[in-house]
Amino acid sequence: MDPAVAAFRNEYRAGIARSYNGWLHGSFIFGVGIAYIVYSALQAQGGGWAWLSIAPGFLVANFGEWWLHKNALHRRIPALKALWQRHTVQHHHYFTEAHMTVDSHREYRIILFPPYAVIGLGLIHAGMAALWALPFGAAAGWAWMVGGMSHYLLYEILHTAAHLHERPLLRHLPLVNTMRRNHWIHHHQLLMPEYNMNLTLPIADWALGSSDLQRGLFGTLFNGYRMDHLKPELRERLGRETIPFTPRRLTPPLSRD
Ligand SMILES: [Zn+2]
Ligand SMILES: [Zn+2]
């Protein structure tokens, strides 16, 4: 492992509280998130067409993720400096294109959002849902909240899966494999401010031109580990020495260091 990355990892690990448990951290996020989804779904019951509001709730969350990641996590906005510090300074130093994986649940500390984020995001989606409910009714607002929170929980699953050691299941599961390759490209030191800003599904990346792939939406979503659809400017910029271009060569940086 690169000595600078190894030193940063040691320093970061030494600062994790002894009482920290990654499984507990994840359980809190998913406990709160699932309760929020179940409660909202119960309120939306009998809403008929209102259930379709899950889709805009999910989509707005996807474009919001893209915006926040590009503008607040990779640029230092004074009011949101803590987000930049946690993401660009810590997360992107802990994981580079050559060192993408964790070895223990204690390292989930650097992958999962802090526990209070699920509450903050729940409130943001509730606020947007209240606006949505004005023209479309209360059931539509509750369905929006189901879509928004489902997007966040899917983000935590897919982002964590992108930082796990290579396993046949992760390699073959649709969307999971896509996001592992997608996020690996994002962690490339040269590419992180510009490419693959979605961490859940690359919908906004595809729509706004920041995907590293030259493919339609379906192909981008189900690309898996394929590297043959890379945009020509990326191939040129990185050169064949810097980045592996075939799925077979993608494996080593994702597997055990
Ligand atoms: Zn990451
Ligand atoms: Zn990033």
In this prediction, residue 24 has a pLDDT band, given cuts at 50, 70 and 90, of very high
Q: State in Å: Cα 90 to ligand 1 middle.
A: 10
Please name which of 225, 234, 238, 237 lies closest in space to residue 182, comparing C-alpha atoms: 225
- Average pLDDT of every residue of the chain: 89
pLDDT at 226 over 80: yes
Distance of CA 241 to the CA centre of its chain: 27
Q: Kindly state the average pLDDT of the residues 148-172.
A: 94
Question: How many CB atoms are located within 10 Å of the residue 30 CB?
Answer: 14
107: Cα separation from own chain's centroid: 16
Q: Which ligand is nearest to the CA of 108?
A: 1
- How many angstroms separate the alpha carbon of residue 162 from the centre of ligand 1? 7
Ligand 1 centroid to Cα of residue 172, in Å, is 20
Torsion of CA 102, 108, 113, 119, to 10 degrees: 160
Ligand 1: distance of its center to the CA of 187 in Å? 7
Q: Among all ligands shown, which has an atom nearest to the Cα of 197?
A: 2
Task: Indicate the angle between helix axes 116-136 and 22-44, nearest 10 degrees.
Answer: 10
The reported pLDDT for the residue numbered 250 is 42
Ligand nearest to C-alpha 163: 1
Residue 167 Cα to ligand 1 midpoint, Å, equals 18
C-alpha of residue 196 to centroid of ligand 2, in Å: 8
Q: What is the distance in A from the centroid of ligand 1 to the CA of 222?
A: 19
Has residue 77 got a pLDDT over 80? yes
Which pLDDT score, from 0 to 100, does residue 192 have? 83
Question: What pLDDT was estimated at residue 161?
Answer: 94
- Separation of CA 131 and ligand 1 centre (Å): 32
Ligand 2 center–CA 241 separation, angstroms: 23
Give the pLDDT band of residue 247 (cuts 50, 70, 90): very low
Q: Which of 20, 8, 199, 1 is nearest to 105 (CA)?
A: 20
Report whether 33 contacts 25 (CB < 8 A): no
Average the pLDDT over 27-45 and give the result.
97
**Band of the pLDDT at 243, cuts 50, 70, 90?**
low
User: Which ligand places an atom closest to the C-alpha of 182?
Assistant: 1
Q: How far is the CA of 112 from the centre of ligand 2 (A)?
A: 13
Separation of CA 195 and ligand 2 centre (Å): 9
* pLDDT exceeds cutoff 80 at 239: no
